[in-house]
């Protein structure tokens, strides 16, 4: 979930607080403005589930994934153990700040016993239900994403959560060819299920670029009379800043292909 939002959320042993349970992990995104001080083995930032398929009916397979993601040292200041931290090779010891974006709790039978919540096992035995919970801080995720993905020009939205997949900048509003090309791009992208943000203001090119950078859409298609005279538009990545000229049809195909995998 966090990877799809462009976040590296590190599972860290945390305090359970009043909710209870003796085993809980918070998911924290590293950020200088984070509310928590965190201590971790730098190797934990390389852990990625990616597109790995996990059979959640296979207890051993699930346990192996959990062990992989929780064995390396990673703790908030509330549960930090200096002796364990000192045992990590010095070059891998990291101290930073983090924003908590989610937390998972294991309650065991703490609540089920008091509620009389039971389940019957295959051998007919009635036992208390093992319980847990996982919460995600939806409202604070936006701030965490921006903290983790921005530069001095503005936001850099990851494709998975961007408000618009691409922006279209018309360099010469009122030019018949440029206007027609922009409208064509907008409609072609819409047919692919993508709603573009079309900047058709009568503004200088620099102002339009600055606005797009501030908003931070992942991709920008720039349309101008000079490029159209050569049959091309310019596609720019907000994250890398790299631009590529291609035909309008190829630009639509490129953007559509990117979002097919998001």
Examine the domain organization and report whether 37 and 113 are in the same domain: yes
- Rounded Cα distance between 237 and 127, Å, is 56
Q: For the whole model, what pTM was predicted?
A: 0.80
Q: What is the pLDDT of residue 49?
A: 79
For 150-193, write each residue's pLDDT tens digit. Answer: 999 999 999 999 999 999 999 999 999 999 999 999 999 999 99
160 in a structural domain: no
Instruction: Name the DSSP letter for residue 130.
Output: P
- Rounded Cα distance between 97 and 39, Å, is 9
155 in a structural domain: no
Examine the domain organization and report whether 135 and 178 are in the same domain: no
CATH number of residue 134's parent domain:
3.30.930.10
Q: Which of 27, 24, 48 is nearest to 36 (CA)?
A: 27
Least reliable range by pLDDT among 20-24, 178-182, 225-229, 254-258: 20-24
- Which structural domain range is residue 182 located in? 166-260
- Rounded Cα distance between 144 and 158, Å, is 12
Least reliable range by pLDDT among 13-22, 172-181, 195-204, 217-226: 13-22
Examine the domain organization and report whether 135 and 13 are in the same domain: yes
Average pLDDT, the chain: 93
Domain total in the chain: 2
245 in a structural domain: yes
159 in a structural domain: no
Q: Which tokens go with 95?
A: 């101290």
Instruction: Categorize the per-residue pLDDT at 119 as very low, low, confident or very high, splitting at 50, 70 and 90.
Output: very high
Examine the domain organization and report whether 126 and 57 are in the same domain: yes
The helix (H) or strand (E) run that includes residue 15 is none
Examine the domain organization and report whether 132 and 174 are in the same domain: no
Distances (CA, A) of 192 to 86, 157, 167, 196, 232: 53, 20, 15, 11, 20
CB proximity list for 218: less than 8 A, separation 6 or greater: 156, 157, 158, 159, 162, 165, 166, 237, 238, 239
Examine the domain organization and report whether 36 and 83 are in the same domain: yes
């Amino acid at each position: 979930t966090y990877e799809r939002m462009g976040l590296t959320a590190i599972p860290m042993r945390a305090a359970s607080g009043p909710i209870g349970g003796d085993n809980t992990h918070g998911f924290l995104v590293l950020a200088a403005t984070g509310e928590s001080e965190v201590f971790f083995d730098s190797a934990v930032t390389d852990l990625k589930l990616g597109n790995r398929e996990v059979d959640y009916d296979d207890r051993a397979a699930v346990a192996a994934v959990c062990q992989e993601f929780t064995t390396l040292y990673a703790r908030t200041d509330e549960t930090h153990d200096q002796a364990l931290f000192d045992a990590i090779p010095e070059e891998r010891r990291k101290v930073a700040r983090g924003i908590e974006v989610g937390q998972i709790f294991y309650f065991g039978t703490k609540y089920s016993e008091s509620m009389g919540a039971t389940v019957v096992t295959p051998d007919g035995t009635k036992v208390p239900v093992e319980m847990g919970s996982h919460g995600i801080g939806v409202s604070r995720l936006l701030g965490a994403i921006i903290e983790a993905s921005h530069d001095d020009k503005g936001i850099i939205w990851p494709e998975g959560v961007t408000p618009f997949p691409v922006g279209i900048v018309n360099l010469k509003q009122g030019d018949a060819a440029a206007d027609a090309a922009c409208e064509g791009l907008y409609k072609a992208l819409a047919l692919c299920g993508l709603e573009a943000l079309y900047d058709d203001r009568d503004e200088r090119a620099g102002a339009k670029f600055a606005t797009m950078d501030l908003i931070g859409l992942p991709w920008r298609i720039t349309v101008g009379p000079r490029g159209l005279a050569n049959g091309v538009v310019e596609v720019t990545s907000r994250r890398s800043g790299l631009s590529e000229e291609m035909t309008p049809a190829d630009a639509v195909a490129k953007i559509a292909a990117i979002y097919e995998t998001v």
